[in-house]
Structures are given as structure tokens and as C-alpha cells.
Amino acid sequence: MSSLKTFFNESITTTDPDVSSIIKHEITRMSEGLELIPSENIVSLSVLQALGSVFTNKYSEGYPKKRYYGGNENADAVEQLAIDRAKKLFGVPYVNVQPYSGSPANMAVYFAVCNPGDTIMGHNLPDGGHLTHGWKVNFSAKFYKSVPYHVKSDGYLDMEEIRKLAIEHKPRLMWCGATAYTREFPFEEFAKIADEVGAYFAADVAHISGLIAGEAHKSPVPYAHIITTTTHKTLRGPRGAMIMVTEKGLKKDPELADKIDKAVFPGLQGGPHDHATAAIAVALGEASKPDFKDYAHQIVKNSRALAAAMMKKGLKLVTNGTDNHMILLDLTPYGKGKGIFLQEALDLANITLNKNTIPADPSSPFYPSGVRLGTPAVTSRGLKEKEMEFIADCIFRIVDCIKSYQLPDDKTQIKDYLAKFREEVKHNKEIAKVKGEVVEFCKGFPIYQTLKY
């Protein structure tokens, strides 16, 4: 380091122009594009400030007032504040805010209530479920006996199958939650089944916790024993996660909260990320304010408006609509495996979303036949129902541009075919035109103007 003065008092703009410039480009990318990935959001400056705070320097293994290292009075204060805010916001008696992210949070739940080899049930990944709910390549299927459940051909959860499988396999743990499901989760029906077979019932609300906090989605609190959530999706905080135990959970197992604490630390993790904890506290503070309710409801209003506008143009949606922040576009009317074409063509038009499987996908998870999109980030940016028509129109025009491309049946031809596709769309005039319109549109909804890099 050249001098301590530089080290502590100068900003990254002068000390590291290389990284600074990459961050600047990322701000530009976010500012000039429409972010429709439903698991992403745009956090407040306050969340960013807490995340970039000196708490990143601290080690605080343990829990508030029970730490292994000294100097933890402020780390204690900020973690306790995050816990108290989460308890109040969600109405639960116990919260752990230390999981590094959603997947480690779910791992801690397994570690707390299951033994290796126990049977678990979760939403099948190609049907919209998460990796950590028992997908074959994930730890959750390697260490436990995974019994996946499915959605029906209409896209809705198959509750009859779920009950039948639960009675047959008597799982120790049942998950409800998904990364690609556009309808309200029937927590009450799940709880009945879990209670009937004596299973722990965990609701993974990673995607919808902000909607729950803002009362735009039913809460699982009266029904589940355990609730996990990320903090960076609709909750609009930093990357991180929380595990909650409900009154019902404590009634089933009075030691459940203690088991979760021990599973997170020292079971799976070392020192908590106190800078993330501070930012989670800020996000929970924001989510407790009345205008967050408006935000959560606006997310759903926008999602419904976008779904309606897309269907009006003749696009096909899984379940023909949405109850939440998310939409699944079924591209099978144009052929199979079309998701990658639309995702990449939209990327060139500054619209970001992700390819995704649809129920009974005729293609594979790597080349799925749909795309997933959602409204949390654009709603944070101030877009309303009216603007959803512009987005639907852009998507429709790009769908038209990729319609004629067909994923080869012969796997060995896919690479060359995609290379040719990429070369052609780069020069597509309509895609370039949509991009220009998107950049212009985004100027009306600026973000992070005060950030200097």
C-alpha cells in the first residue's frame, strides 16, 4: 500500500480503477436494461451502505452475547436488531439470520431435523422446485432419500400425488416452496398432509418472503414448523438468508430452535457475515414500513398486468397467468428447447430473464422450452401497470425474431447451430431497434445516480 492515508481515505475510483471501472459498467448495464429475473431485485442505497460497512472486518462466531471472540458489542447489537425486526415482521418466536445464503439455510434445516438416509419430500426441480429440495445431483438427494413430487399438466401442484407419496413414504421432512411456480402455495393443505404422517413441514419462501411481509401472499406461519427464506429476492435485502421456527414448530419439538442454531453454527458454518447481517437489518426495517406493503402489492399488480398483456398478444403462459411476482412463458407453440434462444436474443435487447423448464418439458433442463420472468426489480424501479405493456410488446417482438430457430435433435449439432444463431441475432435490426427503445425507456427510471465509481 502506498500510504496509510490512501489506504483508509481514498475511494476505489482512484485506488483501483480496474475494479472500479467494471463496477461502473455493471451500474450502466443495470441502469440501461430491464431486469426481469424474478430472483433479483434492486436494493436501496442504505442496504448497500450497510453491506459495504466495516462489519466486514469482524469475526463473531457464536450468537449475540455468546461469542467466541472479543469486541462483539456492536456485532451483537446489529444481529439482535435483525432478529427482533424479523420476528416482528413475520410474527415468529425464533429467527436465525446467519445462513450465508438460501442453500446453506436449507442445508441447516436438514442437518437439524434429519439423519443421513432419512426420507425427504420436495418439489421436483424440472417442475419448478429448488436444487436443495432433493434434486438428484444436490446434497439433499445424495445424503437423504429424496421423493420428489410434481405439478400437474396444468402447472398446478398435484396435491393428490403429494398426499399419496407422503402416506407411502412417511418422510421425516416435507418442503413446500419453489423457484418457478406462479401460483399461491397451499400451505394449509401441505400442513394437513405433513401432520397426518408426522413429518416436519418446512416452507421455503425464498422467492416470496417480500410478498408475505407486505401481505401480498398468504403467510405460512400458522401452518409450517420451519420457514426458510433468502433475503435478496422480493425481500430486497443483501444476499443472505434466514431460518424461522414457528409456534407450531416449537410445539412439535421444543428444542427445534436450539437444533437450528446448532446446525448453522457450529454444524455447518464458521463466522457469520456481520456486514450482511447489518444490511439484512436495514432491509427488514424497510420491509416493516407501510410503503413496503404498497411495493409488495404493486409487484403482483405489475406481474398480473404483464401476464395479461403477454397473453393478449397470443403468448402462452403456464397456468394461464400468475398469483405472484413471477410468470412462466411456455414457448412450445414455436417448438421445443426455445428458452435459450429467447434469453439470448432478449439479452441483446437489454432485457434480462432466464430460460426455464416448463411442466412436462419436451426438452432438457439445460435447453428448456420456457423462460421465467418477474417484476420485483422493475417494480423497485418505479414501473407500474402501464409500463408492463411496453415490456410485453418488446418481448413479443423478440419472440418473433427467434421463432424460426429450432434446437437440433442431434445433440452434436447444437453447438454449431447456436454459434450460427448468435452471429445472426447480433446483426438483427429489429433486436437492435428494441434495444434502443429499452435504453431510452430506462432513462425515465434512473437508479443509483449518486454512486460514484
In 3D space, the residue among 276, 274, 283 whose CA is nearest the CA of residue 62 turns out to be: 274
Pairing relationship of beta strands 66-67 and 62-63 according to DSSP bridges: antiparallel
Distance CA 357, CA 336 (A): 10
Residue 116, burial from CB neighbour count under 10 angstroms (0-12, 13-18, 19+): exposed
Annotation marks residue 252 as catalytic: no
CB of 9 to ligand PLP, least distance (A): 34
Please report whether residue 375 would count as binding ligand PLP according to CB under 6 A: no
Annotation marks residue 161 as catalytic: no
Subset of 39-58 contacting ligand PLP (CB under 6 A): 39
Annotation marks residue 61 as catalytic: yes
**Active site residue: 233, 259, 304, 435, which one?**
233
Cell 397426518, residue located? 196
CB of 326 to ligand PLP, least distance (A): 10
Q: How far is CA 238 from CA 270, 446, 451, in A?
A: 19, 20, 17
Please report whether residue 234 would count as binding ligand PLP according to CB under 6 A: no
Judged by CB under 6 A, the number of residues near ligand PLP is 14
Please report whether residue 204 would count as binding ligand PLP according to CB under 6 A: yes
Contact map string, positions 151 to 190, toward ligand PLP, x by CB under 6 A: --------------------------xxx-----------
Please report whether residue 230 would count as binding ligand PLP according to CB under 6 A: yes
| Closest residue to ligand PLP using C-beta atoms | 102
Subset of 240-299 contacting ligand PLP (CB under 6 A): none
Distance CA 240, CA 104 (A): 9
CB of 202 to ligand PLP, least distance (A): 11
CB of 438 to ligand PLP, least distance (A): 26
Annotation marks residue 403 as catalytic: no
Nearer to ligand PLP, 218 or 336 (CB): 218
Please report whether residue 79 would count as binding ligand PLP according to CB under 6 A: no
Nearer to ligand PLP, 299 or 401 (CB): 299
Q: What angle do CA 416, 419, 425 make, to 5 degrees?
A: 140
Query: Among residues 102, 148, 238, 370, which is the contact residue for ligand PLP, using CB under 6 A?
Result: 102
Subset of 106-135 contacting ligand PLP (CB under 6 A): 106, 130, 132
Residue 266 CB: number of other CB atoms within 10 A? 12
**Active site residue: 61, 344, 424, 437, which one?**
61
Please report whether residue 324 would count as binding ligand PLP according to CB under 6 A: no
**Active site residue: 13, 59, 313, 417, which one?**
59
Distance CA 169, CA 167 (A): 6
**Rg over CA atoms, the chain:** 23
Nearer to ligand PLP, 179 or 352 (CB): 179
Q: Give yes or no for a contact between 169 and 199, defined as CB atoms under 8 angstroms apart.
A: no
- The kind and range of the H/E element at 440 are helix 429-442
**Active site residue: 119, 230, 231, 357, which one?**
230
Please report whether residue 96 would count as binding ligand PLP according to CB under 6 A: no
Q: How far is CA 280 from CA 210, 239, 273, in A?
A: 13, 9, 11
Name the one range near ligand PLP by CB under 6 A: 10-18, 137-145, 155-163, 199-207. Answer: 199-207
Q: Give yes or no for a contact between 163 and 193, defined as CB atoms under 8 angstroms apart.
A: yes
227, β-bridge pairs: 203, 244
Please report whether residue 217 would count as binding ligand PLP according to CB under 6 A: no
Please report whether residue 357 would count as binding ligand PLP according to CB under 6 A: no
Q: Give yes or no for a contact between 321 and 301, defined as CB atoms under 8 angstroms apart.
A: no
Name the one range near ligand PLP by CB under 6 A: 14-22, 97-105, 306-314, 363-371. Answer: 97-105
**Active site residue: 35, 79, 127, 204, which one?**
204
Alpha helices in 288-338 (DSSP H): 290-312
**Active site residue: 239, 293, 336, 403, which one?**
239
Nearer to ligand PLP, 20 or 101 (CB): 101
Distance CA 401, CA 361 (A): 22
Distance CA 230, CA 238 (A): 9
Distance CA 355, CA 347 (A): 11
Q: How far is CA 234 from CA 156, 272, 312, in A?
A: 22, 22, 27
Name the one range near ligand PLP by CB under 6 A: 101-109, 147-155, 247-255, 445-453. Answer: 101-109
Positions marked catalytic? 59, 61, 204, 230, 233, 239
Question: Which residues of this protein are in contact with ligand PLP, per CB under 6 A?
Answer: 39, 101-103, 106, 130, 132, 177-179, 204, 206-207, 230
